[in-house]
Amino acid sequence: MTDDDPTVDHASGSDHGPDPDVDSDTDRDSDLDFDSDTDFDSDADSDTDLEPDTRSGPRSTDPVVVVVEPETPGNVGTIARAMKNFGLTDLKLVDPPELEPDGEAYGFAGHAREDVLPNAETVTFEEVVETYHTVGCTAITGEDARRHVRFPYSTPVELRDSLRTVETRTALVFGREGTGLDNDELRRLDEVCSIPADEDYPVLNLGQAATVLLYELRELTVDEYQLPDVDLERATEADIERLHDYFERFLEHADHREYRRDRCETLFRRLLGRAHPTDREVHTLLGVFRKATDKLEFADDLAETYGESLYDEDAPRR
């Protein structure tokens, strides 16, 4: 199986040609990492990046991210950007390509070009294994069940829960775009992590895989998000009962059939009971029903004044 998705040239947008996958059920002594594509995010320079200002510095237990022999600078930049998004700063590279300040890596790094990328450290695989609790990030298929190299494995969520109890520093190890981490490398790592994906095509782009994994680990690495706090406190029962009263009046003035009103009111009560509406939501609905009911009452008064029915008595009613 090969993957013909082209690499996109950051400068010109032209295709460099396909970067082949390695079939996951082959017997060769290497296997897919998450990544076999080398597509990049074309709007990486956007100023609308999700980059929360999380804290003054890294914690001693924050994972480091290791990329083994990355083949394209753009993927290194994409991973650096994902690290910046989710509160990580320590990037280690094993035999990386040249990362020019005006090249692909810095072009795709967003604001990570200011710290994560220039501070990236070149290391050896041996140094990583000897220094950290290691997690190998790799694609896994059903055929791999016959091998012990990739089993047992954790999903990103399971890994997050497991790492809560690990006191030593952890290294998240990603492999090459085309072939991932080979079996000899995986045998030397402490854990294996794999992202669940569609069995017809479980191979993720290296940058995508890193982003998914770091997102799932954000509870360990990010102290404060950019999202505003939202008050979800339930409205008072008195206000909710006022809303039910207005709904009852609305049904009456809308000339809803009497024998159906009880059922409609009960359904509305069950709906609000499940929704646990906030004070703002209840008062918004109160305003809507109050105005609608006032207009219907006014229309009824006009009809009574001029002796005309507001409704066509001969029309079929539901």
pLDDT averaged over 10-residue windows placed end to end, the chain, 318 residues? 38 36 38 43 42 48 92 94 93 94 93 94 96 89 64 85 84 92 92 88 89 90 63 86 92 82 91 91 93 85 70 53
Long-range interactions of 245-253: CB distance < 8 A, separation 24+: 246/286, 246/289, 246/290, 246/293, 247/289, 249/289, 249/293, 250/289, 250/292, 250/293, 250/296, 253/293, 253/296, 253/297, 253/300
> How far apart, in whole angstroms, are the C-alpha atoms of residue 74 and residue 177?
11
19 contacts 7 by C-beta, under 8 angstroms: yes
Instruction: Please tell me whether the overall predicted TM-score, pTM, comes out greater than 0.75 for this model.
Output: no
What single-letter DSSP state applies at residue 110? G
CATH topology of domain 64-220: Alpha/beta knot (3.40.1280)
Domain boundaries along the sequence of the chain: 64-220, 237-306
- Burial tier of 138 (Cβ tally within 10 Å: 0-12, 13-18, 19+): buried
